[in-house]
Structure 1
Amino acid sequence: MPRSLVDIAPTLAHRLGTPLPWAQGLPIPDMLKIKGDKTLLLIVDSLCSNVYDHPKMPLFNLREIADKGHIERLLQVSTKTTPAIASILCGTYPEVHKVFVTNDVKKPGVKSVLEVAHESGISCGIVTEREGAEAFNHKITYSVGIEDSDDMISYDENIIKETRRLLQKGCSVVCSHIRTLDRTAHITEDVEELKDACLFVDSLIEEVVGWGVVLFVCGDHVIHSKI
């Protein structure tokens, strides 16, 4: 059976020792073998095989850590960011979690792995766009929102800065969402501009690798540009 993004939440739940009985996905065995006390799930908006496998996209650090760790080809479950990320965090398909727009996060069909972890006494956090983070207020240990901006470079740098702060505060698991690649893909199909976006994303990954945490990097949907 092909793997998909709904396998990520049950993988995290298994690592954390928390139940996720409604999950429609299954834990990824090779990702359960990776040892570490702190875990970062870094969602790179629009990262997909079309980008990862493209010979002109400079994802040097990402490919290096994949070579040293494990890579899994996961099928997308939606072409839209919000339901895709909900599937990543809940372990179910959109028709089950019923999160199609950001406001739906306040009353989802099922709980996310972060909420279950928090209820089990595990310190966890999310770092994302302000409206999305607010939907997690009082549901998990920390929800940090970054104001949306036309300057995606600065926006993503702030995401990474706040991610590190939460890990330093003692979070066992943090989910963060960076958007430079997706924003670039929405406005251009120019390969050079997409290369620049990938180079920036890869520099953020290089920084995170230096923190010594267990790092899961995933996309959410196929890139909207033709490359």
Structure 2
Amino acid sequence: MEQLLAFLQAREPAVVTLVVIDSLDSTLYYTLAADLEVLHKLASAGLVFDCETVTDTTTPAIASILTGLLPEEHGIFTSNEVGTSPVNSLLELLDDAGLPTGAILETEGTRPLVGRISYVCPVDDREDIAEYDGLITTHTVSVVQKEEVRFVFAHLRAIDRFAHRNKDLHIAAQLTNKHMKNIAAAVSARAGVLLICGDHVAHLAENRRPKKTMGTVPLIASYP
């Protein structure tokens, strides 16, 4: 943690952009390295950590990432609970402190944030996950480009969708790589820092067997 904080403070970035890549666990991060070229280039120029996961589902995992609390501490297990939880996320804390923030994710997940942070960009769920992630990326770039914004959170889902349906993960990784290239360019243009992490272990057949541990996900910090 001290190493990461020192890295983030080293250049006083104009904007911090956090992208959670759904189901990107450490195994996939390394196995799909050729398809995730942008991520590995960012990692080689910055920092990368393998972090223990705290849950195997998305909503409580993202809540833990944004609050720093364990699921049993924040109590957020569904999108509706985001709106009823007494725990404020980093998005809300920063915005309340006068540092505008933005969130770009699936429509249900954004509803509790409307009126609580400066920029909320909902994207309706759809069968075409490539189109979905493309819209997430377009909105993310747009919000990052706003000079007043200091923290941006976005959520990409192609790898998770492909994993659930046993489709070719190389294709999902290539889609993700393309989107991350565009986001990284926008962050670079604002002299910002980019944080990229997974949320839980991918829901692949080999991962559905009971295990003693939850596995790990990568956390990358880089100045693009």
TM-score, structure 2 length as denominator?
0.84
Change (3 A) 1:109 1:50: farther
Equivalent positions of 1:90-169 (< 5 A) are 90-169=67-146
Task: Please give the root-mean-square deviation of Cα atoms over the aligned residues, in Å.
Answer: 1.8
Query: 1:201 and 1:97 mapped to 2: Cα distance?
Result: 29
| Aligned residue identity for 1:178 | L
Aligned counterpart, 2:43: 66
Aligned counterpart, 1:16: none
Query: 2:160 and 2:196 mapped to 1: Cα distance?
Result: 15
Aligned counterpart, 1:215: 194
| Aligned residue identity for 2:8 | L
Figure out how many residues of one structure are paired with residues of the other and give that number.
200
User: Which digits, 9 at most, give the CA deviation of each residue in 1:138-191, with x for residues without a partner?
Assistant: 111111110010001000010011111112223111000010000000000x5x
1:97–1:108 contact (8 Å) kept in structure 2: yes
Q: Equivalent residue of 1:85, what SS?
A: helix
Q: CA deviation at 1:55?
A: 5.4
> Structure 1 or 2: larger strand share?
2
Structure 1, gaps ≥5 residues long: 1-6, 8-25
Which is bigger in relative contact order (C-alpha 8 A, separation at least 6)?
2
Change (3 A) 1:96 1:62: same
Q: What is the percent sequence identity of the aligned residues?
A: 32
Q: CA deviation at 1:207?
A: 1.4
- 1:40 and 2:17 matched: yes
Q: Which moves more between the two structures, 60-69 or 205-214?
A: 205-214
| Match 2:156 to one of 152, 155, 178 | 178
Query: 2:10 and 2:20 mapped to 1: Cα distance?
Result: 19
Change (3 A) 1:31 1:108: farther
Q: CA deviation at 1:34?
A: 4.7
Aligned counterpart, 1:28: 4
Structure 2, gaps ≥5 residues long: 208-224
TM-score, structure 1 length as denominator?
0.83
User: Which digits, 9 at most, give the CA deviation of each residue in 1:91-115, with x for residues without a partner?
Assistant: 1001111100110000114110110
Query: 1:115 and 1:61 mapped to 2: Cα distance?
Result: 30
2:22–2:156 contact (8 Å) kept in structure 1: yes
| Aligned residue identity for 1:94 | P
Query: 2:89 and 2:178 mapped to 1: Cα distance?
Result: 29
